[in-house]
Structure 1
């Protein structure tokens, strides 16, 4: 890791402030002053800022039970960002791996590991997401087969990828998809003449929303959960 990035990961300093500390000779690596921001810090290196040892914050992997009326954004807009609900250091470095609409609840994954989140959201990875869906109208008989074959969404050139629909009751189902098109679940049901009235994400890949988490609560992922996308 570059030395300036290492400093930022270990302190509240910005990149420009870290470079200023380097310029003034405030940083030592293994006892020697280093002023080169591009210096590569190895795992075993000892880094001091004004003789205080620095330890970088490790990569973080979080699951949250997203409540309604929050947005998957790093900043507040018309509604508050769900990141306001997380109290951790350097929360501004976190991002959401797989967004949900403001009115959709359920499993959200949050991290500062860009490659890991790419494995979650990249269409090429075909990561399955499972949603609990409540509908305005009864589900007609052939919808399951239509979703398995792919449906034509409005303003899309190609059919959706095959999706799995499990019907729970006449107006309730579980839908598993491997894409993440804009408003996809809502648009899929709209394409077959129905309307989603409530939507809740249960699962991403093999990671299932912890049933002990109330809306707005979060926890760090276990090592086994993190490894699902490494």
Structure 2
């Protein structure tokens, strides 16, 4: 990695400001003053600015209880975005693993670890997602077998992958799917002649939404959650 890229990632300085810092002899690598900001780092050097060691930030893994009305994006011109709910440094660097619609609540994950994000979201990984669903009309028993076989969604060439439906009451159910097509849960119920009026995600893989988190609250994932998230 180039020195200027390293410093721009792990300090609050821009690339142009870093150029000036280097020219002013304020940056050292292995205790030697550097004169060029574009030198290559191997990864084991000690980089200091004004004598202070610059430490690479560790990856961050966050669970957030998404409330209604927020968009799963880093910025939006019309609606509040989920990163607005975070009080963490460099929050615009966080990627959203598992987006939800503006009218859907529940678990979302945020990270700056791109490989981990890919393991969560890549379709071939088949990471499960579990939702609580409330519908406008009663849920018929035959929907269980229909979802288990796969549903033909409007505009799709292939059936959905087998999904597990547990009916909780006449108008509520828990649904586990292993893919993430556009508005999939709503479209699956629409294919049965029903309409989803409330949707809440409980889990992604083995990560369950912490029951202690109120809407809008968040916490870091623990090590077990990070390691077992895609199992």
Task: State the shift of 1:15 in Å.
Answer: 3.5
- Mapped partners of 1:137, 1:128: distance in 2: 26
The TM-score normalised by the length of structure 1 is 0.94
Seen in structure 2, the aligned counterparts of structure 1 residues 15 and 185 have a Cα distance that, compared at 3 Å, is farther
What do the CA deviations read for 1:186-206 (whole angstroms, capped 9, x no partner)?
Answer: 001001110000000000000
Deviations 1:138-191, CA, capped at 9 Å, x for gaps = 111211111111101111111111111011011100000011111010001001
Q: Tell me the distance in 1 between the aligned counterparts of 2:3 and 2:40.
A: 5
Local SS of the residue matching 1:200: strand
1:191 and 1:97, CA in 2 relative to 1: closer, same or farther beyond 3 A? same
Cα displacement (A) at 1:36: 4.8
Q: Equivalents in 1 of 2:18, 2:161: separation in Å?
A: 47
Determine the C-alpha separation between the residues in 2 that align with 1:38 and 1:157: 51
Distance in 2, matches of 1:92 and 1:79, equals 16
Structure 1 pair 59–2 and aligned structure 2 pair: CA distance change class (3 A): farther
Q: What 5-or-longer segments of structure 2 have no aligned partner?
A: none
Are the equivalent residues in 1 in contact too, given 2:204–2:229 (CA < 8 A)? no
Which residue does the alignment assign to 1:154? 154
Q: Where does 1:64-83 land on structure 2 (aligned, <5 Å)?
A: 64-83=64-83
Quote how far apart the aligned CAs of 1:46 are: 1.7
SS in 2 for 1:110: strand
**TM-score of the superposition, structure 2-length normalised?**
0.93
Name the structure 1 match of 2:102: 102
What is the 5 A alignment of 1:39-188?
Answer: 39-43=40-44, 45-188=45-188
| Cα deviation 1:120-145 (Å, max 9, x = unaligned) | 00001000000000000011121111
Query: Are the aligned partners of 2:206 and 2:229 in contact in 1 as well (CA < 8 Å)?
Result: no
User: Can you give the 5+ residue segments of structure 1 that lack an aligned partner in the other structure?
Assistant: none
Instruction: Determine helix, strand or coil for the equivalent of 1:187.
Output: helix
Residue in structure 1 matched with residue 38 of structure 2 by the alignment: 37
Instruction: Give the superposed CA RMSD.
Output: 1.6
Alignment: residue pair count: 229
- Counterpart of 1:124 in 2: which secondary structure? helix
